[in-house]
A and B are shown apart, each in its own frame.
Chain A
Amino acid sequence: MGAYVVLTGHFYGGVMYDIAAEHAPAIGATIVVVVSLWLALGAFSTLARRRVTWALTLVETYRATSGITKLAGILMLVSGVIHLALIASHEGITGGLFVIDGFGFIVLGATAFVTSWWRRPAVLWLLATIVAYVIWIIAGWETPDQIGIACKLIELVALGLVLRLGPQGLPTWPRRLWRAVAFPTLVSVATIGIWIGGLVHPDALHAHAGALLQPVAEVATAEQRERAAHLLADTRASITRYGDPAAAIAAGFKPGPAASAEPLRHFENAANAKIILDPNHPQALVYVQTKHGLQLIGAMYQMPRAGQWGPDPGGPLTQWHQHEGICFSPFGFEFSFETPFWTCPVGSTSVTTPPMLHVWIIDNGKLGPFAADLDKTVQKNLQGS
């Protein structure tokens, strides 16, 4: 539970666990290239059976190629097409490099089937692309989203395959050691590099750590301000009766796990799980541990499913958020960060919570009554009171 405090700090973010809107065309391009290759192979096989010479040549060439070369070639073709599909959304030097990279991968992917010299250029091309991506991410010139990371995974696997095709050479110890550690080291360094880039350059929708904020307009209208005030007043009027935690428990709210590192405690009511933004039936009550016991400080509304944003009567004032990119361990109710490749330690799992909206019925300082977090100064004062 202590790491949840770290997760709610203001440094963690990045669109690492989502798909950047401008990168979405790459998904369609990948599906198109894979289906096209499959259909083309089927068509060439049919023509080859009818003794069409050039089709026969192509099919025999394909069949004569080893499985490992075939897969490396196809993965490079896929990466090339992804790069070309993303040219329109990248300007300047990055866009130019995408053109070179895309065509380079397509040429190398195709030559893998017909030449013997492709291996060394492919290693250099793949390595240069992966290293350049990490540099771009750390420098903040590119956003590390799921499409970019998936593309790097494809390139890393392709590189691993191409390296395996290399000449074995003399089995000396340094050579063996290098062959054993080179690829795992590159995968690890690439993962850590992407991660650092995501941490250093959080985007506007990830101001709340480990959480994605609901996209909203920048300025609230007068009507939205009025509705937000109503929501605050209604929530305060409704939950005041639970000032004593025993009353909340009697009403069906169950206290969440307590931890010394986390002074806030959520009392959840499963019976309200499917109700949407009803001040009379909040999904959870939030208490803070003070020197004199638990003090009610707010309510938490939660949507039934992840990715399902709730109604925001106050527009930008009532902005929902969902926690993502976190590893949850049921052993002790603990949290840690997820890697950019969505891997968690054994025994924990990746979790994305349904969107939630906090309503603080106390003065929450400069963050306001609907902030994702309780103001740190306010929290400190409450704990000391």
Chain B
Amino acid sequence: MSITSPAISANTMASPSSAPEIASVLVVTQASLSLVAGLSAIPFSIVEPGFRLLSLVTILVAIAMFWLARNVRRRKRWARRWVIALEALSLTASLLLMVLPIGAIRGPVPILVNLVMPPSVLWLLLSRPGRAAFRTAGRSDARGAARGCAPAREARRWVIALEASASRRCCC
């Protein structure tokens, strides 16, 4: 028995999983916070020369995160891998800082930013629905890859897989 109303159906997205969309919003939020951290260090670089480099690196990392978020939303598998690596690194660093007696994580804001958001993104991308969303997209990517829209190695792999699949269908 289904009692789903049209209004409810409108809320339901066409995609099998919202995980990439939610993950991309979280990554964009993190990138925005990093961007402000990078920009805010610029005035300090007048008296702290080391912060010139740190500020530049932070802004570049933020820009890279915006780009990764965009590609996660487009269900690019390489973007998913990069985001997983970055979030895992961020979470590891946060856990290490939490252990050190420097008061790096005190209160709800650092807990949300450092200990809730990275594991949430990891969970979204590593969970079964998250993996499935990228797997489905991967197949459609293959067609684009074959047209030269993705790295050649990836394209070759998918073309071989598709040809094998087609030949199986043909012979059965």
Contacts and interface: CB of A to CB of B under 8 A. Distances in A.
A17 B104 CA distance: 11
B54 A164 contact: no
B10 A3 contact: no
A344 B51 CA distance: 11
A19 B129 CA distance: 37
A107 interface: no
A114 interface: yes
Contacts of B8: 61, 64-65, 113-114
B47 interface: yes
A340 B33 CA distance: 10
Interface residues of B, number: 64
A348 B54 contact: yes
Nearest to A30: B108
Contacts of B32: 183-184, 187-188, 191
Contacts of B97: 349-350
A340 B103 CA distance: 15
B55 to A, nearest CB: 6
Interface in B29-71: 29, 31-41, 44, 47-51, 53-55, 57-58, 61, 66, 70
Interface in B1-31: 1-13, 17-19, 21-22, 24-26, 28-29, 31
Secondary structure call for the A interface = mixed
Contacts of A341: 33, 36, 109, 113
B101 interface: yes
Interface string B112-147: 111000000000000001000000000000000000
A153 interface: yes
Nearest to B44: A336
Contacts of B10: 116
Interface of A: 1-3, 5-6, 17-19, 27, 56-57, 60-61, 64-69, 71, 112-116, 146-147, 149-150, 153-154, 156-157, 160-161, 164-165, 180, 183-184, 187-188, 191-192, 195, 261, 305-307, 324, 327-329, 331-332, 334-337, 339-354
Given A64-B12, A65-B12, A341-B113, A188 B22 contact: no
Contacts of A187: 28-29, 32-33, 36
A184 B103 contact: no
B25 A335 contact: no
B104 A351 contact: yes
A191 B33 contact: yes
Secondary structure call for the B interface = helix
B171 interface: no
Contacts of B28: 160, 183-184, 187
A329 to B, nearest CB: 6
A18 B109 CA distance: 10
A116 B109 contact: no
Nearest to A186: B32
B99 to A, nearest CB: 12
Given A6-B47, A68-B22, A71-B22, A345 B38 contact: yes
B58 A346 contact: yes
A153 B113 CA distance: 9
B107 A19 contact: yes
6 contacts: A154-B112, A157-B26, A183-B28, A184-B35, A346-B58, A352-B103
A65 B36 contact: no
Contact of A164 (B25, B31, B47): B25
B7, B32, B53 — most chain A CB neighbours (10 Å): B32
Contacts of A261: 47
A199 B6 CA distance: 50
